[in-house]
Chain A
Amino acid sequence: EAQVTQNPRYLITVTGKKLTVTCSQNMNHEYMSWYRQDPGLGLRQIYYSMNVEVTDKGDVPEGYKVSRKEKRNFPLILESPSPNQTSLYFCASSLYGTEYNEQFFGPGTRLTVL
């Protein structure tokens, strides 16, 4: 089954404790992206990657890191999480860019930083 998977689905952590949210897709998509969703703000793009070893900042990259060492994986790293990073996070992928191709979204990761 073609899908985007994220782990963990739920995470409660404390300020400053480094964490990684994994994202994997099995569709051989070149484009991958991370979004955060907050009430009243919609989805905002954190980082995106056009291909392996190619990443770029979205609209809200502060406090996050990403890497794209393999085509299928695009982990989101929070080196020192803070409470304002409490949010619902989505990973998405598409065949090439976002102009034409449909983005397929993962199920979301609910992160709470205490």
Chain B
Amino acid sequence: AQTVTQSQPEMSVQEAETVTLSCTYDTSESDYYLFWYKQPPSRQMILVIRQEAYKQQNATENRFSVNFQKAAKSFSLKISDSQLGDAAMYFCASGGYQKVTFGTGTKLQVIP
């Protein structure tokens, strides 16, 4: 069984500043991946970044990076130089081979 917890229902950040979204997970899978998805007002689900659990190095994608703490089962997303287009709902997810479990989401507001 997998659970994913996002404890921050809403967050805000000033444009150009940095923000970190928190996520903790629990899984019985030995091999798994972790994901952050972005859902803008258009409702489209967009993959932001993913992390292989067996890799110690934290994944980065341009302004997006993660802090993966395997022992603590923590997978936070850091957004640097926040832009207005980053305003969206962000979902953390944990995936084994067959199933993916999503968190409840964090709504990010970017203040001009």
Contacts and interface: CB of A to CB of B under 8 A. Distances in A.
Interface in A64-114: 88, 90, 92, 97-100, 102-103, 105, 107-108
Nearest to A41: B104
Contacts of B103: 42
Given A43-B91, A88-B43, A107-B44, A99 B33 contact: yes
Given A100-B52, A103-B47, A45 B99 contact: yes
Could you tell me the dominant secondary structure of chain B's interface residues?
loop
Contacts, number: 59
A29 B91 CA distance: 23
A103 B44 contact: no
Contacts of B99: 45, 48, 58-59, 98
Nearest to A38: B104
Contacts of A102: 47, 50
Given A42-B103, A43-B91, A98 B97 contact: yes
Interface residues of A, number: 25
Nearest to B104: A42
A99 B32 contact: yes
Interface in B31-72: 31-33, 43-45, 47, 50, 52
Contacts of A62: none
A79 B25 CA distance: 34
Interface of B: 4, 6, 9, 31-33, 43-45, 47, 50, 52, 91, 93, 95-105
